[in-house]
Amino acid sequence: MASVESEYPFYTQGLTALLKARRWIAKKLVLKAAVRLGRARDGQHAWALENNAKSSFDMVSSEIGDDRPLSECSFSCDGKFLATCSLTGVGKIWSMQPQVKIVSSLKGHAERATDIAFSPTNNNIATASADCTARLWDTQGTLLNTYKGHLDRLARVAFHPSGKYLGHSRSVYGLAFHNDGSLAASCGLDALARVWDLRSGRSILALEGHVKPVLGISFSPNGYHLATGGEDNTCRIWDLRKKGCLYTIPAHAKLISQIKFEPQEGYFLVPASYDMTAKVWSSRDFKPVKVLSGHESKVTSVDVVADGQTIATVSHDRTIKLWSSKKAERY
């Protein structure tokens, strides 16, 4: 006969603030889902951006970003700024217009910076570090808050789509939020990707298929595709409706460090790799569109600007490279 304890799942009671956050997500963000589904029903999808990518995405800028290898990069929601961080522990904010130039430095971490992310609703920036803290900054370099509590180094930091909440992790090496705001996805050294329901806090889906650690993860704006990449050199496309792998892309010759979907409609996705390249792949048929080559060492991070027309990559060669589909634009 089963014990009384085994009849009930173990749980740790959360804070009142966590309960309020989950209720807010459940109530408010259903509107975003309704808008996305309405666009899908109306057929508001075109592939002009993909066709544009086939003939362009040329390198338009290359800048030395730091004295030591760069680890991550992130565009602001309006595309006017780019944030980078490095093994020095310093984050930097760069202006994109009229040319790439440094605006401010984010100094405060005691060890290497592992991740950096712009808020999706304003120009606040979050950083994660091996010093076990996450920090919140503005574009002028002013420290707004420090988040403590982890007992080991932080690997990732990410904003909820509402901009109200900040997620940070240690043993998780990839972290992404669904555009509707109700789901989160994570991946790590166990070669699994997991999807979490933020309204309940439960893991609702475990995605098995990679044979080595998974380091990058990204939701498509279409709401039902999820991309992962890792040390097995492959990018896997998961269909959340079917709860399985839709397609496996033999994307690179070495491990995939990061992966991002084009943020408007998910027209294409861009994995970055230790083979010194990033590659643009079509999200319609998962065929190669463009190879972004030019770095002299492993590419550690990639991001795509909101309009889908500029890609940023950073590398252990200490450079920031910008790739644009805007023919006349040179930074």
The 10s digit of each residue's pLDDT in 126-183 is 999 999 999 999 999 999 999 998 888 888 999 888 777 666 555 788 999 998 888 9
Work out whether the CA dihedral 248, 252, 278, 165 comes out positive or negative: positive
Residues 256 and 119: their CA atoms lie apart, in Å, by 24
Q: Which two tokens stand for residue 167?
A: 């997620």
Average pLDDT of the residues in 249-257: 96
Q: Which residue has the higher pLDDT, 6 or 230?
A: 230
Residues 234 and 297: their CA atoms lie apart, in Å, by 19
- Please report the pLDDT score of residue 24 as a whole number: 61
Average pLDDT of the residues in 199-225: 92
Which has the closest alpha carbon to 125: 114, 115, 112? Answer: 115
Euclidean distance between the first and the last CA atom of the chain, given in angstroms as a whole number: 71
Could you tell me if 126 and 108 are in contact, meaning their C-beta atoms sit under 8 angstroms apart?
Answer: no
pTM of this structure: 0.85
- Please report the pLDDT score of residue 129 as a whole number: 95
Predicted confidence (pLDDT) per residue in 263-321, tens digit: 988 999 999 999 999 999 999 999 999 999 999 999 999 999 999 999 999 999 999 99
Give the DSSP H/E element, type plus range, for residue 320: strand 319-324
Tokens 């595309």 -> residue: 79
- Please report the pLDDT score of residue 113 as a whole number: 96
Residues 314 and 195: their CA atoms lie apart, in Å, by 28
| Helix 30-42 / helix 16-28 crossing angle, nearest 10 deg | 30
Residues 172 and 156: their CA atoms lie apart, in Å, by 7
For residue 88, pLDDT over 90 is answered with: yes
- Please report the pLDDT score of residue 11 as a whole number: 53
Q: Which residue has the higher pLDDT, 220 or 180?
A: 220
Could you tell me if 122 and 163 are in contact, meaning their C-beta atoms sit under 8 angstroms apart?
Answer: yes
- On average, the pLDDT of the chain sits at 86
- Please report the pLDDT score of residue 48 as a whole number: 47
For residue 17, pLDDT over 90 is answered with: no
Question: Collapsing DSSP states into helix, strand and coil, what is residue 178?
Answer: coil
Work out whether the CA dihedral 42, 163, 190, 314 comes out positive or negative: positive
Which has the closest alpha carbon to 72: 317, 313, 322, 260? Answer: 313
For residue 5, pLDDT over 50 is answered with: no
- Please report the pLDDT score of residue 47 as a whole number: 47
Which residues lie below 8 Å from residue 317, measured CB to CB, with a gap of 6+?
Answer: 69, 295, 296, 297
Could you tell me if 128 and 168 are in contact, meaning their C-beta atoms sit under 8 angstroms apart?
Answer: yes
Which has the closest alpha carbon to 85: 120, 131, 148? Answer: 131
What are the Cα distances from residue 91, in Å, to 23, 41, 43, 129, 273? 34, 42, 41, 10, 22
